[in-house]
Amino acid sequence: MMTIDIARWRTIKGFMHEEEAQRLYDISLDASLKGPILEIGSYCGKSAFVIGSACEKNDSILFSIDHHKGSEEQQPGEEYHDPDLFDSRLKRVNTLPFLQQTLSAAGLDDIVIPVVGSSAQVGRFWQTQLSMVFIDGGHSYETALSDYRTWAKQIMPDGYLVFHDIFLNPEEGGQAPRQVYDLACQSNDFQVLEMTNTLGVLKKK
């Protein structure tokens, strides 16, 4: 049963359907019993709010990675650009203050740890085993593949690997995350669980 504040969740800028949030919450609730969770792609904290709420219940934490400069499609002039997120002092997109606002308003500052940097750089010296990795960062093939290669190996046995934006129909969205999801499905390292909308869910063997 969903026990996040869905009215508050709806006010957070971001990209996620309600049924995906529900599933993400349920998986996070199970995962967070076993250890910390990590996500790639904080943006303004919409998924972090969901995962963080589950972590709070189980006294776990979420590491939320983002360089906060926005993905390619979020840059000025691109399809998913949001002018509110343009920082005139830095002269670029900067979503960090929005993430901080989301976490502060939700009382999750102590549960969700923003990690400001690129996924590959943060991963270089990472050693802590994770109960779940949620990949929702850059959507180019190179970036999605790098996220998978960097983070999948850090998942503990019975932990989860979850991808966002898996479009089985190419007309509905970019195929790069799906190609990487397919690699994971074929790797023999995971049991493939049911999808929820564009959420691809795997469980580490």
**Interface residues for ligand SAH in 139-198 (CB under 6 A)?**
143
Query: Least distance in Å: CB of 136 to ligand SAH?
Result: 4
Q: Answer with the entry of ligand SAH, Mg ion, none that 159 interacts with (C-beta below 5 to 8 A by kind).
A: none
Options 131, 136, 148, 161; binder of ligand SAH; rule CB under 6 A: 136
CA neighbor of 127 nearest in space, from 162, 148, 151: 151
Q: Answer with the entry of ligand SAH, Mg ion, none that 71 interacts with (C-beta below 5 to 8 A by kind).
A: ligand SAH
Q: For residue 113, what is the enclosing H or E element?
A: strand 112-116
How many Cβ atoms sit within 10 Å of the Cβ of residue 11? 10
Query: Least distance in Å: CB of 19 to ligand SAH?
Result: 14
Burial of 48 (0-12, 13-18, 19+ CB in 10 A): buried
Residue 123, interface with ligand SAH (CB under 6 A)? no
Comparison of 29 and 186: residue with beta carbon closer to ligand SAH: 29
Query: Least distance in Å: CB of 121 to Mg ion?
Result: 21
User: Could you tell me the CA-to-CA distances from 201 to 24, 68, 106, 192 in Å, in that order?
Assistant: 9, 25, 26, 6
Q: Answer with the entry of Mg ion, ligand SAH, none that 197 interacts with (C-beta below 5 to 8 A by kind).
A: none
Residue 65, interface with ligand SAH (CB under 6 A)? yes
Q: Answer with the entry of ligand SAH, Mg ion, none that 70 interacts with (C-beta below 5 to 8 A by kind).
A: ligand SAH
| Angstrom distance (rounded) from CA 155 to CA 147 | 13
Catalytic: 17? no
Closest residue by beta carbon to Mg ion: 164
For 175, the token pair is 């195929």
| DSSP string for residues in 142-192 | HHHHHHHHHHGGGEEEEEEEEES---SSGGGS-SHHHHHHHHHHHTSSEEE
Residue 43, interface with ligand SAH (CB under 6 A)? yes
Residue 41, interface with ligand SAH (CB under 6 A)? yes
- Give the amino acid at 175: Q
Query: Least distance in Å: CB of 87 to Mg ion?
Result: 22
Annotated active-site positions, please?
A: 139
